């Protein structure tokens, strides 16, 4: 802008009143608030935390610079990376969650009796506060309470049922279950939104071609909502790396359910090893970035023939559309 001002040799006060100057002024004044908020509440604290990770420090008192010691400790401690293994449970859960959400979204995006009601019911858990969900499930899984009672109605004997939170072989699955219950509704609504945008004449013509519902799903729906599926997968995987609320509220991370975040929370707040916890946070960030890149590469590989990566895709798509249009016109004539 300055060069412009110099080029036209306008004094600043004239330039600022001109259309260009006003444009810049408006742009800046609108941007400055969100940028300032972003900087103050995201980048500044992050920078501070990055700095903390090189110190041995508590919240109060003196700090001692220790270099990379904290990072080394994260790798040496059993509990930090051991906790990451628990993320596998949550990743498995997120896959189940996405498949379930995709299935229900596909069913519900066609005409279903009381479809809106079902949508509402399934989305509802997402609206409940995570802490409240924790308390709900604490009672849900208590011996002889809700879950056991329901299973007893189905003919199970109480003695043959496991202790959902005490048994260390299954308690992580129990916790993952709560997170599936909470989030699949939200995924489903996102999928439904994406599926709605698919041109419905495609289904019609596919039906005329003799494609069954499953083939329609594979060849029409899935490719059309690829972006949103990918987004959801990435969000779920990063979410499962940073799972926190279910183990924190339901079991307070005890009994072998302490995820990376819960361990980090304990180190930061109970033990007050702020430097170590900051280093853990930075390492988790790096892991998440790597996981996201890997997923991007994976999707690129799997959908290699997808249009974005194929320069001829545009032409092919035009041809395909023309063919479809011709076919549907013929079909209309035939009728």
Partner 1 sequence: MKLKKLLALGLAATMVLSLPVAVSADEGGVPGYLDITLGEDYTDLTATIKFLHCRTDREEDGTIADLVAKFNETYPNISVETEGVTDYAEDSLLRLSTGDWGDIMLIPAIDTKELSTYFQPYGDLEALDAELNFMNAWSYDGVCYGVPMWGNAQGVVYNKAVFEQAGITELPKTPDEFIADLQLIKDNTDAIPLYTNYAAGWTMGAWDAYMGVVAEGDDTFMNQKFAHMANPFEDHGDGTGAYALYKILYDAVANGLIEDDYTTTDWEGCKGMINNGEIGCMVLGSWAFSQMVEAGDHGDDIGYMPFPITVDGTQYVVAGGDYNYGINVNASDENKTASMVFVKWLIEESGWNVSEGCYATSKNGENPSMYSAFDTCTMLSDQPALPGEEDLLGEMNAESELSFNAGGDAKVQRIVESAFTGSESFDDIMADWTTAWNDAQESLGVEVTE
Select 78 or 113, whichever has its Cβ closest to partner 1: 78
Residue with tokens 């004449």: 201
The nearer residue to partner 1, 266 or 292, going by C-beta atoms, is 266
- Residue 158 interacting with partner 1 (CB under 8 A): no
Under rule CB under 8 A, residue 251 binds partner 1: yes
The single residue among 242, 266, 295, 328 that binds partner 1, judged by CB under 8 A, is 266
Q: How open is the CA angle 162-164-169, to the nearest 5 degrees?
A: 80
Minimum distance, C-beta of residue 207 to partner 1, in the bound complex (Å): 51
**Distance in angstroms (rounded) separating the CA atoms of residues 273 and 299:** 39
**Contacting partner 1 (CB under 8 A), which of 224, 242, 272, 328?**
272
63 binds partner 1 per the rule CB under 8 A: no
Q: Does position 328 bind partner 1 by CB under 8 A?
A: no
For position 270 contacting partner 1 by CB under 8 A, the verdict is yes
Tokens (6 digits) for 246:
């279910």
CB of 138 to partner 1, least distance (A): 6
Tell me the H-state helices in the chain: 2-7, 12-17, 19-38, 44-52, 69-76, 78-109, 115-127, 130-141, 146-153, 171-196, 200-208, 213-216, 222-224, 226-241, 245-246, 260-265, 274-302, 313-334
178 binds partner 1 per the rule CB under 8 A = no
Bridge partners, 55 (sequence order)? 65
Six-digit token string for 264: 């980090």
What part of residues 96-155 is at the interface with partner 1 (CB under 8 A)? 138-139, 141-143, 145
Structure token digits, residue 64: 């001692």
CA neighbor of 104 nearest in space, from 47, 180, 169, 177: 180
User: Contacting partner 1 (CB under 8 A), which of 106, 171, 187, 238?
Assistant: 171
Decide: is 182 part of the binding site for partner 1 (CB under 8 A): no
Question: Is residue 69 near partner 1 by the rule CB under 8 A?
Answer: no
Q: Tokens for 68? A: 């990379």
166 is an interface residue for partner 1 by CB under 8 A: yes
Pair of tokens at residue 295: 């997923």
Shortest distance, CB of residue 303 to partner 1, whole angstroms? 43
- Contacting range for partner 1; rule: CB under 8 A; set: 2-10, 99-107, 262-270, 311-319: 262-270
The stretch among 152-160, 221-229, 263-271, 293-301 that binds partner 1 (CB under 8 A) is: 263-271
For partner 1, the binding residues in 186-245 under the rule CB under 8 A are none
Which one among 255, 292, 295, 328 touches partner 1, defined by CB under 8 A?
255
**Residue 256 near partner 1 by CB under 8 A:** yes
Q: CA torsion 102→108→110→112, rounded to 10°?
A: 150
CB 253 within 8 A of CB 262: yes
The answer to whether residues 90 and 176 touch, using CB atoms and an 8 Å cutoff, is yes
- Residue length of the chain: 335
Nearer to partner 1, 192 or 263 (CB): 263
Q: Give residues in contact with partner 1 (CB under 8 A).
A: 58, 61, 138-139, 141-143, 145, 163, 165-166, 168, 171, 251-256, 266-267, 270-273
């Amino acid at each position: 802008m300055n060069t412009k001002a110099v080029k036209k040799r306008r004094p600043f006060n004239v330039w600022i009143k001109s259309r260009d100057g006003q444009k810049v002024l408006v742009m800046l004044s609108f941007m400055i608030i969100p940028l300032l908020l972003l900087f103050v509440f995201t980048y500044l604290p992050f920078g501070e935390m990055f700095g903390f990770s090189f110190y041995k420090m508590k919240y109060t008192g003196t700090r001692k610079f220790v270099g990379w010691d904290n990072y080394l400790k994260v790798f040496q401690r059993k509990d930090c990376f051991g906790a990451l293994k628990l993320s596998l449970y949550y990743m498995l859960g997120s896959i189940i969650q996405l498949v379930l959400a995709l299935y229900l979204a596909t069913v519900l995006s066609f005409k279903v009796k009381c479809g809106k009601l079902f949508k509402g019911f399934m989305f509802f858990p997402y609206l409940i506060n995570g802490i409240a969900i924790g308390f709900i499930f604490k009672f849900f899984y208590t011996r002889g309470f809700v879950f056991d009672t329901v299973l007893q109605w189905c003919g199970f004997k109480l003695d043959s049922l496991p202790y959902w939170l005490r048994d260390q072989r299954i308690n992580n699955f129990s916790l993952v279950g709560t997170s599936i219950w909470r989030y699949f509704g939200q995924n489903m609504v996102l999928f439904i939104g994406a599926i709605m945008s698919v041109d419905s004449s495609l289904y019609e013509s596919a039906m005329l071609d003799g494609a069954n519902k499953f083939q329609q799903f594979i060849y029409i729906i899935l490719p059309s909502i690829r972006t949103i599926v990918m987004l959801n997968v990435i969000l779920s995987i990063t979410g499962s790396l940073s799972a926190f609320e279910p183990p924190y509220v339901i079991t307070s991370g005890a009994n072998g359910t302490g995820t990376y975040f819960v361990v980090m929370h304990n180190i930061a707040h109970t033990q007050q090893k702020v430097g170590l916890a900051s280093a853990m946070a930075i390492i988790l960030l790096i892991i998440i970035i790597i996981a996201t890149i890997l997923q991007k590469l994976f999707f690129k590989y799997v959908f290699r023939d997808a249009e974005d990566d194929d320069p001829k895709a545009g032409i092919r798509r035009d041809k395909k559309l023309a063919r479809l249009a011709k076919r549907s016109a013929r079909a209309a004539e035939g009728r």
